[in-house]
């Protein structure tokens, strides 16, 4: 007696699978490629517009930088940030990365020595120990912050270069020191760009 195969068990032809496959592709493309990004962007722009647009710092109605990306300062009257090893220029956001120099590499030792010498030359009377974050690069090369100790190390030099009382500069540093989130997560840190912009505004006044 011949065996009858139920109709539901007959394998579908390739042509019969094409339509549901295309339908699923279009639906998922709309959801993940259009609706979801639009929803996330809308929530971000509504709830966190500053962060969503790059955490930009504006002065005189013009963007001068971001809270998230460091900038290079070398004048005695400015606070210096953490060194950057990005190429072809420091704090290059399109080439984030560290120096990849190992602890036994002489090039790393020479780079640290050169940075210490530059700090000493800019402030010869300062005999305190140099904070490590002023002479070593971060893994990203974009670090916009320094430690309060690194800011305190530079306060006298900055005050002298600008003709300001040291106490006034130290108070400004304190105002721009971010505390750990909820008092627990992270470390106290000073945003160098924001601090230097506040110094420039103070000097202009």
Helices 166-175 and 148-162, interaxial angle, to 10°?
A: 140
Report yes or no on whether pTM surpasses 0.85. no
pLDDT at res. 13:
62
pLDDT in tens, 90-102: 999 898 998 888 8
Half-sphere exposure of 12 (CA within 13 A, CB side): 8
Q: What is the number of residues in the chain?
A: 205
Output the CA torsion 196→202→204→205 (10° steps).
170
Number of other CB atoms surrounding residue 155 within 10 Å: 20
Q: What are 42-83's pLDDT values in tens digits? A: 888 888 888 888 888 888 788 888 989 999 999 999 999 999
- Do the beta carbons of residue 192 and residue 144 sit within 8 Å? yes
How many CB atoms sit inside 10 A of residue 168's CB? 14
Q: Report the alpha-carbon distance of residue 91 to residue 22 in Å, rounded.
A: 45
User: How high is the pLDDT of residue 168?
Assistant: 95
3-class secondary-structure state, position 69: strand
């Amino acid at each position: 007696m011949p065996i009858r195969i139920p109709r539901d068990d007959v394998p579908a032809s390739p042509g019969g699978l094409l339509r549901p496959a295309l339908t699923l592709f279009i639906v998922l493309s709309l959801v993940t490629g259009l609706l979801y990004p639009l929803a996330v962007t809308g929530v971000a722009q509504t709830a966190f517009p500053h962060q969503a647009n790059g955490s930009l710092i504006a002065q005189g109605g013009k963007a001068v930088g971001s809270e998230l990306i460091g900038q290079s300062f070398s004048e005695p009257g400015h606070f210096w940030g953490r060194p950057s090893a990005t190429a072809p220029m420091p704090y290059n956001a399109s080439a984030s990365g560290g120096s990849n120099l190992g602890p036994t590499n002489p090039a790393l030792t020479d780079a640290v020595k050169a940075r210490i010498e530059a700090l000493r030359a800019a402030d010869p009377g300062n005999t305190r120990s140099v904070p490590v974050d002023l002479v070593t690069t971060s893994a990203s090369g974009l670090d916009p912050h320094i430690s309060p100790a690194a800011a305190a190390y530079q306060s006298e030099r900055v005050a002298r270069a600008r003709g300001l009382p040291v106490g006034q500069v130290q108070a400004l540093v304190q105002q721009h020191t971010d505390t750990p989130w909820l008092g627990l997560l992270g470390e106290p840190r000073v945003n160098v760009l924001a601090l230097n912009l506040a110094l420039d505004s103070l000097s202009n006044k």
